[in-house]
Amino acid sequence: MGKNSHFSTKSVFGQLISLIDDSLIKREVKKSNSDRYTKRFKTKDHLISMLFCSFSKCTSLREVSGAMLGLSGKTSGFQLNHIPKRSTLSDANRKRDVLVFENIYHGLLRQYGEFLSDSRIKSVIKKQVKIFDSTTISLFKDILEGVGRKPKTGKKKGGIKVHTVVNADEVVPSLVWFSEAKKHDHQFLDKLKCDKDTVYVFDKGYNDYKAFAHFTAHKTGFVTRIKDNASYINIEELDIEEPIHSGVLKDEIIEVDVKNGTACSKLRLRKVVFYDRVNKREFEFLTNLFDMRADLIAALYKIRWQIELLFKQLKQNFPLKYFLGDNENAIKIQIYCVLIVNLLLAVIKKRLKRHWAFSNLVSFCKIHLFNYINLMKFLENPEKDWIIERNQTEQLALF
């Protein structure tokens, strides 16, 4: 084969890291003072090392430090100043404040959020739709208390619950909170910001009438499913318009009791019963959106499936089964670095005109992480060099 037309002066890893503006890292390091008392292994070195762990799917500190020893002469593309030893990386994961990694992630989200967004949903609903859900990641040690009873052996795995808010028109988390796996989901509803131009969509595990009253008082919309054992009073049955009659079985106003200490008040909500022809089952939705069409209420809840796909994507493509530290800080740092990698790859995927499955994109970057391939050119036309070589071979055969 002749000269590679996809050659680049930067490795694939360097090209991915270049999506992170160096000024963003410097600004967040200065703001959080994360390099205080640090002589050699600075925040940027720490960040690059943990991003390398996520891209290459390393499962141990020894694997990260050992693999990075082979980067001699290849660090100019991403300005790595210090390759860590196993103990150095372990200490940094334990001591460096996770806030700097969180702020870098949110800085990248501000930079690329508009590029990643899809305005079609907002143009129909006229409001920002946000999906809220959680996923539990099992831990080998009881660092954060897991759910369920203790086994007979007396040893119990820990669990960290990642509570996530995703804008429905984006493909990456906009807000993340962590808690012990045993903590109930609905306790995090009070962290959501109320806004008259926002609609929150979440599953019935978050049912909390007190929170629903708070949303309603602040003119913030929500859509969820009603619990099977919910207690309410039917107030009024609304007419179902003919064009949407095939899916909507019932549309009614109900009244629920909201208990606040010893006091009790009434809250009016809307219940929509919808028949899903694909799954051949009925769904009962609960909302405070009284002016929206009943079929759109059902469509809004269907959008919630996006966050389940996001959780699946993160768990299948990145090392979230093996953590490089046995402490809460190290676990959170690793999760935020996975989110950063997920965001960078989402940006690459969105820029491409050619379709690539996300899992294939992750695999390609892992295999060619330190090859000097022009990432965007190759992904747009991966067969180009092979076609050129074949044509040259065919022309030579004519002689």
* pTM assigned to the model: 0.86
* 95/140: higher pLDDT: 95
Q: Are residues 209 and 297 in the same domain?
A: yes
188 occurs within a structural domain = no
261 occurs within a structural domain = yes
25 occurs within a structural domain = yes
**How far, CA to CA in Å, does 268 sit from each of 262, 265, 280, 287, 289?**
20, 10, 29, 10, 11
**Residue 202 contacts residue 134 (beta carbons within 8 Å):** no
347 occurs within a structural domain = yes
Q: Among 10-14, 71-75, 107-111, 186-190, where is mean pLDDT lowest?
A: 71-75
Mean per-residue pLDDT, 175-200: 84
Strand order in 263-276's β-sheet? 175-180, 158-167, 128-139, 198-201, 221-225, 281-287, 263-276, 248-260, 233-237
119: its two tokens: 């305005």
**Residue 106 contacts residue 32 (beta carbons within 8 Å):** no
Q: What is the total count of domains within the chain?
A: 2
Task: Please check the confidence at residue 109 and state whether its pLDDT lies above 70.
Answer: yes
Confidence tier at 326 by pLDDT (50, 70, 90): confident
**Would you state the pLDDT for residue 180?**
82
At which of 246, 271, 303 does a domain end?
Answer: 303
At which of 303, 334, 355 does a domain end?
Answer: 303
Mean per-residue pLDDT, 226-246: 82
133 closest CA partner among 173, 73, 88 = 173
Confidence tier at 94 by pLDDT (50, 70, 90): very high
Q: Which domain holds residue 21?
A: 12-100+325-387
277 occurs within a structural domain = yes
346 occurs within a structural domain = yes
269 closest CA partner among 194, 203, 188, 215 = 215
